[in-house]
Structure 1
Amino acid sequence: MTPVVVPVTIVPVTMAAVEEVEVVVAHHECATLRVGDVFLKVDADQTRTDVEVDAMAMAPVPTPEVLWRKPPVLALAALPGTALGRLGEPSNASPAAWAAAGAAVRMLHEAPVPPRPGRSPGEIASHLDGECEWLVANDVLPADLVTRNRRIAEAALRPWKPVFVHGDLQVAHVFVDGDEITGVLDWSEAAQGDALFDLAILTLGHPEHLGDVVAGYGTDVDLDVIRAWWSLRSLQAVRWLVEHGFDPSAPGCEIDILKARM
């Protein structure tokens, strides 16, 4: 989900220096601040932090260094490079960088699965139906738009072999330097899950790079299932975004993705 960046300047009492604190993302569940080369993640739910720290220790791809942890704060070192892209914005990364991201995801999916189980197709379907009902009942989206995307989403709700999934592999969570992956952020949703879900979230809003990612992934995948996850993820995200102060109707974001499926 698209982060909101709000610069805040803190002036020390001594006035000897001015240090900038950047609010990278903040909502009702947690907040991430950046101070120089350190990211401070503040989360009242320490279960999510436990999952994140454990997943980074297990992941076979570069992750941020854990500097220290003092609940409710987790301090992480900044990754070199820049984000692969942002939802709603064109990506400046090369096709080779996108392919490298696909290769990194393949490495993750071939690693031993973490202990945390993911949601089953039935659980996801039940939650999705509730979100679709809310979208229509509250006039957030037209009924035909919701119905069409709910039908498309059905293709994702099939049995899958559980693999180690990141669980929230947004394009902004993958950092690159040139054509090389320097690290992957935000592992609090890591679990056992569907490999194609990760590929879908990585390419959400960037369909032009799906071919590059799949080429780097290096094995045949069902593109229709990936596209089904685009619809499913977007339908599920709209209410959360609205309730946490984000705008899913921003150009290129979730509502535009749903409209594109029409």
Structure 2
Amino acid sequence: MFAKERLNKIIDMLHNEGKVVVKELSEMFNVSEDAIRKDLKYLENEGLLERIYGGAILKKQIPQYIRVEERIKHNIEAKKKIADKAFSLLKDGETIFLDISSINMILAEKIAKSQLGITVISNSIDILHILCRNSNIQIISPGGILYQNVGGFVGSAAIEAISKYTVQKAFIGSCGVDVINKSVNTFNVEDGNTKKAIIKSGKEVILVMENEKFYFDGVYKFADLEDIDTIITDKEPSKTIKDKLEKYKIKII
């Protein structure tokens, strides 16, 4: 195996397991432990990992803020897969909340094309516009101050309105989850505080996010993992992450 292939394999292992051990890598690739240490040093210099005693852990990435209408173009197949899973959970007669999220926009498209008779509350202007196409859907907007850079209604007025509702399922987006610190994160403080209110309104709180978000940090923590009932993602998380989520009794779909 060439050195570049070995480096790529180490990166894959870090994404799957979150951690690698020098001795185990040495045996796996049939190279010296010194060679593995050089590999890890190179990857550390590239900003991809953090070396620890005896091995390395994945270095959390800081996501760039991108407007929701642009985010929807990124990882589109993964997001469609998540939206399909979320849609399969919906039942006639339910009231749900869809917060400001590119995955929820795709879910809204599926709802708008369906025969479901449900009530949807959303603080996303894009989602409200999408759902207007289907007269079977009762649409509720909490209103408040429109934050154009966020793509919806967030802040104290929206929070006060949201607090008056109870929904069967609240679908929440996130820019990053840290299973070690038990934190669920977003970019914007007002958006984060609004997500807190949405979580309180939900009988079942469902996080919709790509698997890669387990390896991203956010700016503002809006929830603990204990606040989440279910996580819908595009592929099965690593065993390390699954074990942590099961500890917090979170269902993984």
TM over 0.5, shorter chain: no
Which structure has the higher relative contact order (CA within 8 Å, separation 6+)?
1
Greater C-alpha radius of gyration: 2
TM-score of the superposed pair, with normalisation by structure 1: 0.28
